[in-house]
Structure 1
Amino acid sequence: MSDQFQPWAERTVEMPPDQAEQHEFRRGVAPVGARRTPRTESFPTVSQEPTGTGWPGEDAQQTRQPLGYHLAQLRRGGEWSTAGGLFAFVCWGVWAISSRGDLTSPVAAFVLTLFVAVGLFALARVLGRIVWERQLHRPRRTARGAHLVTGLFLAGVGIAYLRQTDWVMSAWHWLLGP
């Protein structure tokens, strides 16, 4: 048994006496021209059987995350949807006020637009899950892509509302010319 203070003693392999006599050891001088044989024994390989446990920490990725984690993930990138929603709301307001009538149908149109935007956001999230997580095997940490798509949609809706307003279009044509 080796000394407790010399842990290297357990890992060293003694050289057979016949090889030790053949090679004269000199510190700092490499044996040139002499063919060296390996001094270590080859150990038999052991096949590894899968246990189903995987790498440490891998199970943590596949466990369910709490609801707060998912809500925080959905909030990241929300500035795109918020900006598009505010732009669409302002443009809708300009269109609704300039129509000079009952606001029931314009409010219903805007609520329907918001429902379509929520559906588009959900569709973008599902497509992101299919493409980004399942096909490319990449984790999604934010909802920026879905928020960007929704914000662009709402900005387009806002432009469409402005294009239906007569005085905005006449001002636009006056600025750009005929």
Structure 2
Amino acid sequence: MSDQTQPWADQTTQPWAERTVEVPPQRDGFQRGVASVSPRAPRSERSTESFPVAPHEETGTGWPIEDEPRERMPLAYHLRQLRKGSHWSTLGGLFAFVCWGIWAISARGDFTSPVVAFLLTLLVAIGLFALARLLGRVVLERQLGRVRRSARGAHLVAGIFLAGVGVAYLRQTEWVVNAWNWIAGT
């Protein structure tokens, strides 16, 4: 037992017999522990009114409505999105450039035609990249409702095209074809 003379002593340590409980005086005729309940009206007298219904308010969550304009993303976001996957186009372009260089040097003539041919090839690759992006926008974003987070697919398509063009340049070079036939044994 704790010493009850101390001001910090816990009151819960007193034995139950020694504890005294003071009940404050009651006001207005209420009794402690007794709730006042009004009697229920008979079922026939009860109101049958329904509760009022609040009107539906749009919160802006859920699927976007087609007429509702979407937030425009900043230009930096779109440029960052276009850079993702650019290594595929860069690799294809580098391969096409090296193969074009081999073809142009082995032709031993004026470089005007080969330069125009390579620039035309690059323009076709850029157009193919743009077409792949447009197709991805129509199919993935509009029809399927997905969000594109990169341009990897379009860069891959352009890179494969440029690698194919590089192989086509090599197939037009006589000494490369002869070396390939010698290695293949045909």
Q: How does 1:91-130 map to 2 (within 5 A)?
A: 91-130=99-138
Equivalent-residue separation in structure 2 for 1:177 and 1:46 (angstroms):
86
Tell me how far 1:63 sits from its aligned partner. Answer: 0.4
CA deviations over 1:138-167 (Å, ceiling 9, x no partner) = 000000000000000000000000000000
Indicate which of 39, 42, 49 corresponds to 2:56.
Answer: 49
Given the two structures, how large is their TM-score scaled by the length of structure 1? 0.70
CA deviations over 1:42-71 (Å, ceiling 9, x no partner) = x959465353x5118x79x92001111110
Alignment-mate amino acid for residue 165 of structure 1: T
Regions of 4+ moved over 3 Å: 43-48
Indicate which of 163, 166, 174 corresponds to 2:182.
Answer: 174
Alignment-mate amino acid for residue 177 of structure 1: G
Alignment-mate amino acid for residue 122 of structure 1: A
Equivalent-residue separation in structure 2 for 1:95 and 1:65 (angstroms):
44
CA deviations over 1:109-162 (Å, ceiling 9, x no partner) = 000000000000000000000011111110000000000000000000000000
Equivalent-residue separation in structure 1 for 2:104 and 2:164 (angstroms):
17
Aligned pair 1:78/2:86, yes or no?
Answer: yes
Aligned pair 1:158/2:163, yes or no?
Answer: no
Alignment-mate amino acid for residue 91 of structure 2: A
Equivalent-residue separation in structure 1 for 2:99 and 2:52 (angstroms):
72
CA deviations over 1:95-117 (Å, ceiling 9, x no partner) = 00000000000000000000000
Aligned in 2, Cα 1:49/1:173: closer, same or farther, shift over 3 Å?
A: same
Aligned pair 1:68/2:94, yes or no?
Answer: no
Alignment length, in residue pairs? 134
Aligned pair 1:131/2:136, yes or no?
Answer: no
Tell me how far 1:177 sits from its aligned partner. Answer: 1.1
Tell me how far 1:169 sits from its aligned partner. Answer: 0.3
User: Alignment partner of 2:145: what SS?
Assistant: coil
> What runs of 5+ residues in structure 1 fail to find an aligned partner?
1-15, 17-42
Q: How does 1:2-13 map to 2 (within 5 A)?
A: none
Equivalent-residue separation in structure 1 for 2:183 and 2:104 (angstroms):
23
Aligned in 2, Cα 1:47/1:132: closer, same or farther, shift over 3 Å?
A: farther
RMSD: 2.3
User: Alignment partner of 1:84: what SS?
Assistant: helix
